[in-house]
C-alpha cells in the first residue's frame, strides 16, 4: 500500500486552521482582542514568507490552551470545527480522498498546526493517520508546551521518518499534496509531489520541476 500524504491548511481546506483558531478565540473574547489578533497576523505573515520561528509561534499559540479547562476547550473546538472549518473544506477534497482510499493507499495528514486543532479535522475528513505538533498534557490540562518534533518544514520530514521506521514501511510510491513552499523538503522526498493551489514560490518550484499543479477549490 502506497502512502498518500496531505498537508491540511490551504490544501484540503481553503484557509489556515491555525490562524483561524486564533481569530475564533479573538471573536469569542477568549483572548485579548487587540494584542492577540496583531501577533497572530504577524506570525502568519512570517509563515507565508518562510521565516516563521516555530518555537516562538508555538509558545504563543499553545498558551491559550493552558489557561482553560478541557471542558471549555473541547466545547469551543466543536463549535469551531462545525461552523468555521466545515464550510472551508475544498470542493475537490472529498473526491481526492476517495480516489486514494479506493486505491488502498495509506492516508495521512501531516501538518504544522497542532494536534488539538487538526485531529478533529482529520476525523471529519475520514483520514485515519495524522502527524502534527503535539501539545503537552499534564494532570489533565495543557501546559502550553509541546512534546516531540514540531512538524514544520524539516520537522515534517523528521517526524515522518520516525513514523515510517515504527511502521516498518518506506516512501515507495508515495504522494504528497501541499500548497506551501514551507513543505518543499518533504515534497522532494516523495515519489509523486503535487502542488495544490500553490503559493507563488511553490508554483515556481513546481513548474521548474514539472510537478503536477492542481486546483481543489474550483
Say if CB 81 and CB 120 are below 8 A apart: yes
CB atoms < 10 A from the CB of 56, how many? 12
Q: Which cell numbers in the block locate residue 178?
A: 501541499
Q: Is 9 among the catalytic positions? A: yes
Please give the angle made by the CA atoms of 90, 126 and 213, to the nearest 5 degrees.
Answer: 40
Say if CB 145 and CB 62 are below 8 A apart: yes
Q: Is 15 among the catalytic positions? A: no
d(CA 85, CA 8): 11
Q: Which cell numbers in the block locate residue 34?
A: 487587540
Which one from 7, 16, 179, 183 is the annotated catalytic residue? 7
How do the residues of the chain divide into helix, strand and coil, expressed in percent and rounded to 5? 50, 20, 30
Which one from 9, 16, 18, 183 is the annotated catalytic residue? 9
Rounded to 10°, the helix 35-48/17-27 angle is: 170
Active centre residues (catalytic): 7, 9
Amino acid at each position: 500500500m502506497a502512502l498518500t500524504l496531505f498537508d491540511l491548511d490551504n490544501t484540503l481546506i481553503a484557509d489556515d486552521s491555525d490562524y483561524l483558531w486564533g481569530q475564533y478565540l479573538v471573536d469569542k473574547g477568549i483572548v485579548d482582542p487587540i494584542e492577540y489578533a496583531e501577533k497572530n497576523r504577524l506570525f502568519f505573515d512570517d509563515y507565508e514568507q518562510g521565516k516563521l520561528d516555530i518555537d516562538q509561534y508555538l509558545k504563543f499559540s499553545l498558551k491559550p490552551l493552558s489557561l482553560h479547562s478541557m471542558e471549555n476547550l473541547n466545547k469551543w473546538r466543536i463549535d469551531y470545527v462545525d461552523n468555521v472549518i466545515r464550510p472551508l473544506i475544498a470542493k475537490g477534497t472529498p473526491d481526492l480522498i476517495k480516489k486514494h482510499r479506493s486505491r488502498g493507499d495509506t492516508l495521512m495528514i501531516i501538518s504544522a498546526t497542532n494536534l488539538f486543532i487538526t485531529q478533529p479535522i482529520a476525523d471529519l475528513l475520514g483520514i485515519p493517520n495524522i502527524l502534527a505538533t503535539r501539545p503537552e498534557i499534564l494532570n489533565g490540562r495543557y501546559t502550553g508546551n509541546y512534546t516531540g518534533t514540531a512538524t514544520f518544514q524539516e520537522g515534517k520530514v523528521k517526524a515522518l521518518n520516525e513514523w515510517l521506521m515504527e511502521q516498518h514501511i518506506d516512501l515507495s510510491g508515495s504522494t504528497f499534496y501541499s500548497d506551501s513552499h514551507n513543505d518543499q523538503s518533504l515534497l522532494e522526498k516523495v515519489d509523486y509531489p503535487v502542488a495544490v493551489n500553490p503559493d507563488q514560490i511553490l508554483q515556481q518550484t513546481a513548474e521548474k520541476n514539472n510537478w503536477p499543479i492542481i486546483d481543489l477549490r474550483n
